[in-house]
Chain A
Amino acid sequence: MQQRSRAIDVHTHLNTPGPQPSEEELERAIRTARYYGIERLVLLGNLTAMGGPDPSMADVAAINSHTLRAMARYPETYIGFCYVNPAHPVSFLRDEIDRCVVQGGMKGLKLWIAVKATDPRLEPVMEAAAELQIPVLHHAWYKQTVFIYNESTPAEIAELARRFPEVPIVMAHLTGCGARGVLDVADRPNVYVDTSGGQPESGILEYAVGQLGPDRVLYGSDWPLRDFGVQIGRVRDADLPADVLERLLWRNAARLLRIEEDAP
C-alpha cells in the first residue's frame, strides 16, 4: 500500500453527461480519491461527453454548470475551473468567466483543443485570468500520431507564457510533453507542469523537477481516463526527497489555488 500523504489532484474530469452530475460518479470518484490520500480534486469539466473538441456556447455553459453543481454538492472536495472556447464571442467569454469565477467561485480557467495556444483569440481569456489573478490550465502534447483537432505543443504554451508573463499557466500532461516539452517551458517561470496522463514512464518526473525546480510541478491524474492510484503511484515512487514530493502533491497546488496550506 502506498504512503498516503495528502494530495491535491489538479487535473480531473467527469464523464457522465446530463444537466446534473451523476451522484454515483461523484461519490465514486471521491471515495476512490480518498483511498489514495487525494483530498481535493480540480474539476476541469466534462469535456468529452458534453462538448467535444470545439464546443458550442451552449455546450460550454452546460459543462460549467455541471462543474458548479459538483462544487456545490461536494465543496470540501471539488475545486472548479471554468472551461472556455476562445473561438466564442468576447462578450460570451467575459460573461461566462464572470458567472463561473466571480460569482461561482471557480479558481482557474481551462483551455483544451478548440484553438491553438498561439491563437490571438486567447487574448481576452488571458487578460481575464490576469485581472482575476487565477491560473490557466492548458492541454499540451508532443505527438507522433493520434493528433486531435487543434492540440497545442509545449512550444506553443511557452509562447503563450511569453506573451502573458503575469498569468500562471499549468501545462498539462508531463509524459506527453516529454523532455522536449519541459525544456520548452524551462525559462518561462510562469509555466507549471502537471503530471497527468500518458503511460507512467519512469524518470520524466525527476527530470522535470531537475529542470523546473520543485515548485513548478503539480500532481494531476486525468481521472477518469486515468487511474488515481497509478498516477499518484508514479509520483510517490519517484526518486525525489520527501519534502519535494510534498510540494508536488500538495503545497504547489495549494499556493497556486490559494488553498490554506496548513489545512488537514
Chain B
Amino acid sequence: MKLIDVSVFGGSWPFRAHARRTPEQLKAYLTARGVGQAWLASASAVFYPDPMAGNEELFAETGEEPFFIKVAVIDVTLATWERDLTNCFERLGCLAVKLFPNYHGYGLDDPRVLRLVALCRERRAPVCIQVRMMDERGHHTLMKVPAVPVEQVVALAQRAPGARFLVCGAYQGELHRLREAGNVWADLSFVESGHTLRVAVNALGAQRLVFGSHTPLHSFGAGAAKLDVPPGDVEPDTVRRIRAENALSLLRG
C-alpha cells in the first residue's frame, strides 16, 4: 500500500522561503516519493483574516483530484465559523478539519470547539489539532507562538469520546501524554530521537501513529526516513500500519 501523508500544506507560510507548488506539481512531487494520498490544508488560511479565503483558493486549484484529502481550516472565533464548516464539507468537499488554536487565539476548552467537534462527528470527519507549525526556538522575534498543550487535546478528546482527533506537530516527549485518550492519533512530523519510530511506537502504540511530512516546510526525505528503519528495529507490520492503514482508520472511523 502506498504511503498516506496526513500533513501537507498548500498556500504560503510567511516566515521563510519555501517551495510553492501547484496541486499538480505537488501531486507529482509526492507521488515520485511513494505517496498515494495526501491530506492537504491551506497554510495561508492560518493568517488570512478569514481562513475561508485560504480554503477556497487552495481547493479551487485542486478541484476534485482524488489524490488530495481536503482538510478545512476553521477559526471558531469568527462569527461565521459554523457556516464556514458547512461550506467546507458540502461545497468544497472537505473530509477533515484542522484547527490552529494557538495562532487563532483560543483554548481547546472553548465551548465552540466542543460544538465543532460534535458537528464533525456527525459527518464522521476527524478533527486535526496543529499543536505547532515551527520549532518555537526559531520563531520570528516579534511573533512567538507557544505550542498548544497536548493536555488540552487529551481533555477535549475525553469530553468527546465518539470523535476522532489527530495531533499534528507533537514532539517525541509529548506522545506519551496522548496515551490517556484512546481517540487521539498523532503524526510523526515533529517526532524525532535516536530510533524515532521505535520510541514513538513505545510511547503511543502502533495503532495511533500516522505518517505526516509537514511538506513543504519540512524535508520530505527526512520525514520518510522515519519509516525506513533497520531490520529488527520495528515490526514490518507496525511500519505498514503507520505508512497507511492507521490513516485510513482515522479517516473512515
Binding site for B on A (CB under 8 A): 1-2, 15, 31-32, 35-36, 141-146, 175-176, 178-179, 198-203, 205, 207, 223-234, 236-238
Q: A199-B190, A233-B219, A237-B220 known; A145 and B18 CB under 8 Å?
A: no
**Can you name 26 A-B pairs with beta carbons within 8 Å?**
A15-B194, A142-B138, A143-B137, A143-B138, A144-B138, A144-B140, A179-B16, A198-B138, A199-B134, A199-B190, A201-B217, A203-B16, A203-B18, A224-B194, A224-B195, A225-B193, A226-B192, A226-B194, A227-B192, A229-B196, A229-B226, A229-B228, A233-B228, A237-B219, A237-B220, A237-B222
What would 10 more interface pairs be, CB under 8 Å, given A230-B226, A234-B222, A237-B219? Answer: A2-B228, A15-B194, A144-B140, A199-B190, A199-B218, A203-B18, A227-B195, A233-B225, A237-B221, A238-B221
* Residues in A whose Cβ lies below 8 Å from that of B217: 201-202
Which of A145, A179, A226, A234 meets B137, CB within 8 Å? A145
How far, in whole Å, are A202 and B222 apart by their CA atoms in the complex? 9
CB distance from A165 to the nearest CB of B (A): 29
Q: Could you give, for residues 25-43 of chain B, a 1 whenever the CB lies within 8 Å of some chain A CB and a 0 otherwise?
A: 0000000000000000000
Does the CB pair B136–A145 fall under 8 Å?
Answer: yes
Which of A141, A144, A225 meets B136, CB within 8 Å? A144
How far, in whole Å, are A36 and B228 apart by their CA atoms in the complex? 9
Interface set, chain B 1-23, CB cutoff 8 A to A: 16-19
Binding site for A on B (CB under 8 A): 16-19, 134-141, 144, 190, 192-196, 215-226, 228-230, 233
* Residues in A whose Cβ lies below 8 Å from that of B222: 200, 230-231, 233-234, 237
**For chain B, what secondary structure do more than half of its interface residues adopt (helix, strand, loop), or is it mixed?**
loop
Q: A35-B230, A226-B192, A226-B193 known; A146 and B221 CB under 8 Å?
A: no
Does the CB pair A227–B226 fall under 8 Å?
Answer: yes
* Residues in B whose Cβ lies below 8 Å from that of A178: 138
Which of B194, B218, B223 meets A225, CB within 8 Å? B194
Q: Whose C-beta in chain B lies nearest to the C-beta of A142?
A: B138
Does the CB pair A144–B137 fall under 8 Å?
Answer: yes
Does the CB pair B219–A200 fall under 8 Å?
Answer: yes
Does the CB pair B135–A230 fall under 8 Å?
Answer: no
* Residues in A whose Cβ lies below 8 Å from that of B193: 224-227
How far, in whole Å, are A87 and B223 apart by their CA atoms in the complex? 40
* Residues in A whose Cβ lies below 8 Å from that of B138: 142-144, 175-176, 178, 198, 201
Q: A31-B230, A199-B190, A203-B17 known; A2 and B136 CB under 8 Å?
A: no
Q: A2-B221, A201-B219 known; A141 and B137 CB under 8 Å?
A: yes
Q: Whose C-beta in chain B lies nearest to the C-beta of A228?
A: B194
Q: A230-B196, A233-B219 known; A146 and B136 CB under 8 Å?
A: yes
Which of A143, A144, A231, A233 meets B224, CB within 8 Å? A233
CB distance from B15 to the nearest CB of A (A): 10
* Residues in A whose Cβ lies below 8 Å from that of B224: 233, 237
Does the CB pair A144–B194 fall under 8 Å?
Answer: no
CB distance from A42 to the nearest CB of B (A): 16
Which of B19, B190, B196, B216 meets A227, CB within 8 Å? B196
* Residues in B whose Cβ lies below 8 Å from that of A205: 219
* Residues in B whose Cβ lies below 8 Å from that of A237: 219-222, 224
How far, in whole Å, are A145 and B224 apart by their CA atoms in the complex? 28
Q: Whose C-beta in chain A lies nearest to the C-beta of B233?
A: A32
How far, in whole Å, are A175 and B135 apart by their CA atoms in the complex? 10
CB distance from B78 to the nearest CB of A (A): 28
Q: Whose C-beta in chain A lies nearest to the C-beta of B144?
A: A144
Q: Whose C-beta in chain A lies nearest to the C-beta of B132?
A: A199
CB distance from B103 to the nearest CB of A (A): 16
* Residues in A whose Cβ lies below 8 Å from that of B228: 1-2, 229, 233
Q: Whose C-beta in chain B lies nearest to the C-beta of A226?
A: B192
* Residues in A whose Cβ lies below 8 Å from that of B136: 144-146
